[in-house]
Amino acid sequence: MTALRRITRELADIYKQPVEGIKVDTSGENVFEWNCSIKALPDSPYKGGTFKFKIDIPQNFPFKAPEVTFLTKIYHPGINEEGSICVPILHDQWKPSITLSTVLAVIQEKVNNPSPEDPFEPDIAALLKNDKTKFMTTAKEWTKKYAT
């Protein structure tokens, strides 16, 4: 099974060279389900927070992108209420050559650097664009409430 071999190899690589600030564990013996957490960077609006998310890897990986769902609430223009994250490489820009390490790095970048461009949450994006101070205050409040 191609998917199992590749996932096992990539997981071993991630354990050998972890993405700083990200923890990855599998759901027991099931390497198709990853329980992950990301620690926000000190210069991020979410500083001090640790956000849990899961990665569900399809049986036909790498030909189909993994699904990422945030389990910790986050006030972010690119992550919606259901925990879905707006990242092109997980949708229309997926390629079989993209590694799971790359996916983790892109998620980390997205979390730490919220952008009002191409949002999942237009109201949050508008606030980030038009009243950054209020956005930062709300992001910090949510981080304190849900991610610490």
Q: What is the pLDDT of residues 27-76, one digit of tens each?
A: 788 999 999 999 999 999 999 999 999 999 999 999 999 999 999 999 99
- Cβ pair 135, 128 in contact under 8 A: yes
**For 4-40, b where at least 16 C-beta lie within 10 A, e where not — what string?**
eebbeebbeebeeeebebbebebeeeebbebebbbbb
What pLDDT is attached to residue 27?
79
Collapsing DSSP to helix, strand or coil, 79 comes out as strand
This model's pTM is above 0.75: yes
Helix (H, G, I), strand (E, B) or coil at 14: helix
Query: Does residue 118 register a pLDDT over 90?
Result: no
Whole-number pLDDT of residue 72 = 98
Q: How many domains does the chain have?
A: 1
Please give the mean pLDDT across all residues of the chain: 95
pLDDT for the residue 75:
97
Can you give the CATH number for the domain in which 96 is found? Answer: 3.10.110.10
3-state secondary structure of 51: strand
Residue 66 domain boundaries: 2-147
What pLDDT is attached to residue 103?
A: 96
Q: Which two tokens stand for residue 128?
A: 């980030």
Asked about 86 being catalytic, the answer comes back as: yes
Q: Which of 7, 14, 57, 86 is catalytic?
A: 86
